[in-house]
């Protein structure tokens, strides 16, 4: 009798053994191999799992038979299967859940329609339709005046539509759950116009693009392309760090390296931080390689995602582009993995299977015999240190390739500092819209150019204070203040989405007047509209745009329909906006206050990236950093575009404290509905860690337990314990011991173990 070990999408750290049913005739026998997806019975349900081993070892317990094959062919190649098993092992996560995260169709409902035929059943084919056209409803604000009586949710929906001009009901629903019904109700009152419009199901292929040819590279680009080409031809497995200043032409290097891989008959994966924010990159790839690419993103339906997966697995398509989960794409004979903006923290998955896509890209390339290319103007200090060690003949893992000049030979923009402690407000009266910034905006508009203003706070005001008792308006479920969204007429929590109408009395004293404190992007937009009445002002943040809507705003910028764009981190991504000659950072030291050892690094990266949006066209760029800390190294180095100086300074501090890249971390996060329970469980897990041999010998430090910086979210109190050490093996031993205790049961408390954490909040 034959048996199979199957990984199922359940939160258990084990595999499950099933038997293969005996065939009545040898001719009817169906071969099951590693990588096949099979349907199996599991606790009264029917689940789809992946075969990870076949054997003839008779278990000591009674086994049940598999129900059938879900597909006739294995869904996982040996290369991809081994990579996923190693990823599960590294991040200490159940293999079945790792496979569920990696395979878009591996869900409990994927085996509906199972038909049993003979000894081993067949399953209805699950192939989806190719990307096609569909109809969607577009909402626009009509000319009808607003009535005096409108509900707060209706006002919020109206504010979103007015800010966008027009928006699909599907995107509106994604921004504001329940908004679709409100929009239809407003249309019945003639406040909205609704239009049915035929569109492509995949927005990345909605418009045709003209094909282009490889561009003549600069000397530095040519050196990088030659070095990558040699590694591709020799089938080496190196990791390359492409450190190029903003506008240096890193994308052209990617394109020519991928062309070399495709010419050899091999495949490629390109990772981007957020696929919704980088359609411009997809357009570049379509122009070079045509539409024979798979773009993996969240707006695809389940059927379209499955179809893209199948086309890659069958080898019909050899290039996959997507956000972090695209690292699991079943590209055949993988030759290159590109990680664009490799420093971006969004490559870390923060829920469920907590992997880091950059690190997984390096592992995937190594297992596939491919090269990995990590590109950034501001590399993570971990990647930079690996490359430095290699250059010095040490045990580094990365090869450094540098692009020190912009591809257009245009100089990097000049950056000036405005000291907020010594500079007064401009005509708006707001201290964060200083007179020098206001004058710079006026000069930019007079010259017919465009400006980008960056402030990493959405909403109108981040805090409201009671005039009577000075209490701060706070979320009842989270230990954070409520943010005022004036156009929507709401106070909102950005962690649990709790909302209450403007005008709600103080929760502490009942006082009727709450005064706004601070500045958000919505208020900046309103202030500029007041003091620059002839300018066309727009905003780019999560309140007004998501998905394809982001590209709509950026397209308006490229068409010169916007003069000043105000935004959050969305505006710092790698957008090419040739008309932008002025970039203003309203509060450059804002992120330095975060309780995170990476705060200086993230500040430098943000400032450098947003500064790089200026002067990418024919005219020189100008950048203004407003700050209360003008002498902070993260800021002074960003002013000089001096990554090496910043890295040297910050690496010295990290080495002294034993933080990455000189040490490793494991974060144990605990939450519970009762504060004392959270504290008790955290203390128990910390005590368990301190009792291990590695801690007794001093190989690992245990930091905490302590309340998380945001101590309560969604009504649950949060604690954390941090394990810090240089030896990954010792850290792993402690983490496994903690996981064993968690698996024994700590309900109603919950706990997770995060290997190599990025978010310290």
Contact 114, 159 (CB under 8 A): no
The predicted-structure confidence for 343-382, as pLDDT tens digits, reads as follows 999 999 999 999 999 999 999 999 999 999 999 999 999 9
- Whether 642 and 565 map to the same domain: the answer is yes
Question: Which residue range forms the structural domain that includes residue 93?
Answer: 3-123
Co-location of 575 and 670 in the same domain = no
At 340, which CATH number? 3.40.50.300
- The reply to whether 351 and 455 lie within a common domain is no
Whether the predicted pLDDT of 128 surpasses 60: no
| Eight-class DSSP state of 674 | S
Question: Do 549 and 569 belong together in one domain?
Answer: yes
Judgement on whether residues 153 and 254 belong to the same structural domain of the protein? no
Tens digits of residue pLDDT in 569-628: 888 877 788 899 999 999 999 999 888 999 999 999 999 999 999 988 888 999 999 999
| pLDDT at 133 > cutoff 60 | no
User: What phi and psi values does residue 530 have, to the nearest 5 degrees?
Assistant: -75, -40
With H, G, I as helix, E, B as strand and everything else as coil, classify residue 321: strand
Residue 513 within any structural domain of the chain = no
The confidence band for 406, taking pLDDT boundaries of 50, 70 and 90, is: confident
Does the pLDDT of residue 754 top 90, yes or no?
Answer: yes
CA distance 246 to 676: 49
283: nearest Cα among 207, 349, 173, 172: 207
- Average pLDDT of the chain to the nearest whole number: 88
Do 181 and 231 lie in one domain? The reply is no
Among residues 654, 674, 691, the one where a domain terminates is 654
Are residues 551 and 433 both part of a single domain?
yes
239-248 confidence digits (pLDDT tens): 999 999 988 9
CA dihedral in degrees (245, 248, 250, 256; nearest 10)? -160
How do residues 283-333 score in pLDDT, each as one tens digit?
889 999 988 889 887 767 777 788 788 889 888 899 999 999 999 999 999
* 528 pLDDT above the threshold of 80: yes
Rounded Cα–Cα distance for residues 475 and 481 (Å): 6
Asked if 92 and 146 sit in the same domain, the reply is: no
Which of 69, 100, 123 terminates a domain? The answer is 123
Give the pair of three-digit tokens for residue 235: 């089938």
Confidence of residue 649 (pLDDT cuts 50, 70, 90): very high
Q: What is the CATH number of the domain that holds 739?
A: 3.30.70.600
Asked whether residue 206 is domain-assigned, the answer is no
For residue 26, the model assigns a pLDDT of: 46
Answer whether residue 224 is part of any domain. yes
Is 405 contained in some domain?
A: no
Residue 406 in any domain: the answer is no
pLDDT tens track for 191-237: 999 998 765 556 677 677 788 888 899 999 999 999 999 999 999 99
| Cα distance between the two ends of the chain | 52
* Same domain for 475 and 445: no
Residues 550 and 609 in one domain: yes
Q: Are 251 and 409 in contact (CB under 8 A)?
A: no
Residue 432 is predicted with a pLDDT of 92
C-alpha angle 112-114-120 in degrees, rounded to nearest 5: 150
pLDDT of 392 reads: 62
Residue 155: CATH number of its domain = 1.10.10.10
| Residue where a domain terminates, one of 123, 157, 184 | 123
- Do 11 and 105 lie in a common domain? yes
Domain membership of residue 421 (yes or no) is yes
Shared domain for 295 and 384, answered yes or no, is yes
Question: In 3-state terms, the chain is what percent helix, strand and coil (to 5)?
Answer: 35, 25, 40
On whether residue 238 sits in a domain, the answer given is: yes
Q: How many domains does the chain have?
A: 6
The structure tokens listed for 496 are 């649990």
**Is the pLDDT reported for residue 165 higher than 90?**
no
Q: Is residue 208 part of a domain?
A: no
């Amino acid at each position: 009798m034959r048996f199979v070990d199957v990984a199922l999408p359940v939160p258990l750290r084990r595999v499950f053994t099933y038997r293969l049913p005996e065939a009545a005739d040898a001719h009817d026998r169906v071969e099951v191999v590693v990588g096949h997806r099979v349907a199996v019975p599991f606790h009264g349900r029917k689940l789809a799992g992946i075969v990870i081993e076949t054997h003839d070892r008779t278990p000591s317990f009674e086994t049940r038979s598999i129900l059938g094959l879900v597909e006739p062919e294995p869904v996982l190649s040996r290369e991809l299967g081994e990579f996923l098993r190693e990823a599960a092992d590294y991040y200490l996560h159940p293999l079945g859940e790792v496979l569920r995260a990696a395979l878009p169709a591996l869900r409990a409902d994927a085996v509906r329609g199972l038909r049993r035929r003979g000894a081993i059943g067949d399953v209805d084919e699950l192939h989806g339709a190719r990307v096609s056209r569909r109809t969607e409803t577009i909402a626009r604000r009509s000319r009808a005046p607003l009535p005096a009586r409108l509900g707060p949710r209706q006002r919020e929906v109206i504010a979103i539509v007015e800010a966008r001009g027009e928006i699909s009901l599907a995107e509106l629903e994604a921004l504001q759950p329940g908004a679709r019904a409100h929009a239809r109700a407003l249309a019945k009152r003639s406040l909205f116009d609704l239009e049915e419009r035929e569109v492509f199901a995949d927005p990345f292929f909605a418009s045709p693009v003209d094909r282009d040819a490889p561009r003549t590279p600069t000397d530095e680009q040519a050196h990088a392309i030659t070095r990558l080409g040699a590694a591709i031809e020799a089938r080496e497995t190196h990791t390359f760090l492409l450190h190029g200043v903003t506008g240096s032409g890193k994308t052209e290097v990617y394109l020519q390296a991928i062309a070399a891989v495709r010419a050899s008959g091999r495949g490629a994966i390109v990772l981007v931080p957020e696929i919704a924010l980088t359609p411009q990159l997809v357009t570049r790839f379509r122009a070079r390689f045509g539409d024979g690419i798979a773009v993996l993103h969240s707006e695809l339906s389940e059927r379209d995602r499955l179809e893209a997966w199948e086309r890659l697995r069958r080898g019909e398509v050899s290039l996959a582009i997507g956000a972090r989960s695209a690292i699991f794409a079943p590209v055949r004979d993988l030759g290159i993995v590109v990680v664009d903006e490799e420093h971006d923290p969004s490559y870390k998955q923060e829920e469920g299977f907590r992997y880091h896509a950059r690190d997984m890209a390096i592992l995937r390339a190594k297992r596939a015999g491919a090269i990995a290319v990590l590109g950034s103007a501001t590399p993570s200090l971990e990647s930079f240190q690996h490359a430095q060690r290699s250059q010095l003949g040490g045990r580094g893992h990365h090869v450094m390739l540098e692009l020190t000049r912009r591809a257009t030979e245009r100089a990097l923009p000049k950056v000036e500092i405005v000291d907020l402690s010594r500079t007064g407000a401009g005509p708006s009266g707001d201290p964060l819209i200083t007179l020098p910034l206001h004058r710079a905006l006026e000069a930019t508009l007079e010259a017919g150019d465009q400006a980008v203003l960056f402030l990493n706070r959405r909403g109108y005001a981040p805090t409201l204070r009671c005039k009577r008792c000075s209490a701060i308006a706070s979320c009842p479920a989270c230990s954070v203040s409520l943010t005022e969204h004036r156009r929507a007429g709401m106070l909102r929590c950005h962690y649990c989405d709790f909302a209450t109408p403007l005008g709600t009395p103080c929760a502490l004293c009942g006082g009727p007047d709450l005064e706004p404190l601070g500045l958000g992007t919505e208020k900046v937009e309103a202030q500029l509209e007041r003091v620059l009445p002839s300018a066309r002002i727009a905003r780019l943040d999560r309140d007004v745009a998501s998905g394809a809507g982001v590209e709509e705003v950026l397209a308006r910028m490229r068409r010169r329909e916007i003069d000043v764009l105000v935004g959050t981190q969305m505006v710092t991504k790698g957008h090419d906006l040739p008309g932008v000659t002025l970039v203003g950072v309203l509060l450059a030291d804002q992120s330095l206050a975060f309780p995170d050892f990476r705060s200086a690094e993230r500040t430098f990266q943000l400032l450098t990236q947003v500064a790089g949006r200026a002067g990418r066209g024919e005219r020189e760029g100008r950048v203004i950093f407003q700050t209360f800390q003008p002498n902070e190294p993260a800021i002074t180095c960003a002013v000089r575009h001096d990554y090496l100086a910043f890295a040297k300074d910050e690496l010295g501090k990290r080495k002294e404290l034993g933080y990455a890249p000189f040490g490793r971390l494991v974060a144990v996060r605990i939450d519970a509905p009762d504060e004392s329970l959270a504290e008790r469980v955290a203390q128990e897990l910390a005590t368990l860690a301190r009792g291990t041999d590695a801690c007794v010998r001093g190989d690992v430090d245990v930091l905490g337990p302590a309340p998380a910086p945001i101590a309560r979210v969604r009504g649950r109190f949060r604690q954390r314990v941090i394990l810090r050490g240089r030896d990954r093996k010792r850290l792993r031993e402690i983490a496994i011991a903690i996981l064993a205790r968690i698996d024994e049961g700590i309900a109603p408390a919950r706990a997770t173990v995060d290997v190599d954490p990025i978010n310290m909040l």
